[in-house]
Chain A
Amino acid sequence: MASKTRNPSAKDGKADPKTRTIQVDELSRVEGEGALYVRVRDGKIQEIKFRIFEPPRFFEAFLRGRGFMDVPDITARICGICPMAYLMGAQQALERALGIQVTGQIHDLRRLMYCGEWIESHVLHAAMLHAPDFLGLQDILQLTAKNPAVVEKALRLKKIGNDVLEVIGGGRAIHPINTRVGGFYKTPSKKAIYGLIDDLKWGIDASVEIAKLFGKFDFPDYTYDYNSVSLRHPERYAIIEGDIVSSSGIDIPVDRFYDHFYESHVEHSNSLHGHIKGDGKPYLVGPIARYNNNFKQLTKLCKQVAKEVGLGPVVKNPYHSILVRMIETIYSFEEALRLAKNYEEPERPFVEVKPRAGEGVGCTEAPRGICVHRYKLDGKGLVVSATITPPTAQNQPQIERDLLGVVEGNLHLDDEALKWRCEQTIRNYDPCISCATHFLKLTVARE
């Protein structure tokens, strides 16, 4: 992380003692390129801007005219960390547009695969990228020097998540090649899935251990009454399906998402900002939102560990996100184990699909929050229009709001300490900046 201090109002090389700007050229341990600008005058924040200058990639535009079968494999390239959100969100939206439903073992295999993604993404972020913040360490190397056993364990947990993805996804954890509209090109053998079981059992105990260890961290004292937006499913902790609910009372099927939510462009960012129509306030998606909305559906073990690490049924401290990620990791291992044990090879790996005109919306819970896709197809099954709303775009206004509160409450800190706290705050969201439109630049101007 490179940083420097400068004075924006300096003239002729002479600094104005009343003003100062602190600039961090790169924020590490996040995905994508972005910057944070904070302007403070007389101890009060005048302006706060979380900028994403990752260049837009125009996925929605170049999907137009493509056949529906090409779409998921193209959208998967939006992200190397959570390709499932872009594969499955697209597949579900297209399946709705084409009037088919995927059920039974194919459905369960999708959920199992998604558990793999939650595991590898959550463990990487919580244990290897976010944990150093709470220990006053610069990075994972310092963490390794301090506690190599935890890092070894985290690496193995992440590998198990990747193994799940590889076994089902055709040998690739990143951009799996075996999924398609209607299901899979080939389904794995029972033996291959059963081969995951011992590791999944080990993963439950190991993630509980890490969650309890993280529960001993000293968490910054900041709370916010979040409007949590997530999927909710009547039977299980929502991962790949459900209705969209919010703590403010929204309860809608996913195909009505764009009736209630919209994105707007702001001058300071290449990423759109997500809003609720008629509200204008920020909202939260991701692990804390899911936990707050669906706590009752977590397993007994998850609830027990949550209680042990000091979490109630509603989380308001964003720094507790690291604990919630570990609770969801425990859940993912338990759920993956259940699904693996129940796996039987389906008679057919996919549901047959025929092109037709239609429109469909799909939504899954990416590790960072709901990821919504909408496609309109013509009679030949070619894409007429595409809209993709990723989680980080939705969280961006909330990240700015959290930063406002955090900076306001910590202006007594010196510049270095304040920068550290801001970065830690942004990492609460594990923001996927390149998905939302890589490095972050932090500028604090004190006037």
Chain B
Amino acid sequence: MFDAVFVRKPMRKTGFLVIGIGNRNRGDDAIGPLVAERVSGLEAMEKAGVEVRVHSGEGASLMELWRGARRVVIIDAMKSGAGAGLIKRFDAGRERVASGVFRYSSHLFSLAEAVELSRALGRMPETMIIYGVEGRNFSFGAPMTPEVAAALSEVAARAAEEFACGGMETKTESTSPGERGSAGDRTGKKPCTKCRCAKA
């Protein structure tokens, strides 16, 4: 019981993961954690076995977090020069994530580098969708810009929709036996017709 405090909680067997990236205390950077919070309260997510995590955005530990995951949905604030509150969906499995769009300033490398490094090292999850929400104000202690706050509900709904098939319709042909999920997850799959994973 005690050791459970010290050992990182293993990811759920489904390998479904939502990551909200950001800092709640830096204005619009809070959108990732807030969407994660909203999504984690949804019954459908619990039913589908989706793990929800909040993360600082540090690349190396992000790579560790999504290692072994099958389907990952990430929400992060972005700064691309577009209007505040703009929601952009990236299919990271199919397109390169541009460096410098997702905001993270540190010794560390960011989400974009973590995605590309994972790709170079063959560590990408089967599906990775990133929702970027354009932010305007990232100051310490600043409130969220109204346009960004207004995007919260839509991003949360779209993030949840990524798992609407209950996670049973992911591309399972590349899953090696015993590596991910249960045997039940890997059998009898048909292309999903209910959620965005089918469009990926």
Contacts and interface: CB of A to CB of B under 8 A. Distances in A.
Interface of A: 29-33, 55, 57, 80-81, 124-125, 128-129, 139-141, 144-145, 148, 151-152, 155, 158-159, 162, 166-168, 170-171, 173-174, 186, 188-189, 191-192, 430, 432, 438-439
Interface in B41-91: 56, 58, 60-61, 63-64
Q: Is the interface of B mostly helix, strand, loop or mixed?
A: loop
Given A124-B107, A192-B3, A57 B140 contact: yes
Contacts of A439: 105
Closest 6 CB pairs of A and B: A438-B105, A31-B107, A144-B120, A188-B6, A192-B6, A31-B106
Contact of A189 (B3, B64, B107, B113): B3
Interface residues of B, number: 24
B107 A81 contact: yes
Contacts of A159: 60, 64
A238 B7 CA distance: 29
B5 interface: yes
Given A158-B60, A192-B6, 19 more contacts: A30-B107, A31-B107, A57-B140, A80-B56, A81-B106, A124-B108, A139-B113, A140-B117, A155-B63, A166-B6, A166-B8, A171-B8, A171-B9, A174-B56, A174-B58, A189-B3, A192-B7, A432-B107, A438-B105
Interface in B95-146: 105-109, 113, 116-117, 120-121, 140
Contacts of B109: 29, 128-129, 139-140
A173 B61 contact: yes
Contact of B105 (A33, A145, A171, A173): A33
B114 to A, nearest CB: 10
A124 B106 CA distance: 12
Contact of B121 (A148, A167, A188): A148
Nearest to B103: A438
A167 B113 CA distance: 27
Contacts of A148: 120-121
A331 to B, nearest CB: 21
Contacts of A125: 107
Contacts of A171: 5-9
Nearest to A81: B107
Contacts of B105: 31-33, 438-439
B117 A55 contact: no
A178 B64 CA distance: 22
A167 B6 contact: yes
Contacts of B60: 124, 128, 155, 158-159
Contacts of B6: 166-168, 170-171, 188-189, 192
Contacts of A438: 105-106
Contacts of B113: 139-141
24 contacts: A30-B107, A31-B106, A31-B107, A80-B56, A124-B107, A129-B107, A139-B109, A144-B121, A145-B120, A148-B121, A151-B121, A155-B63, A158-B60, A162-B61, A166-B6, A170-B6, A171-B8, A173-B61, A174-B58, A174-B61, A188-B3, A188-B6, A189-B6, A438-B105
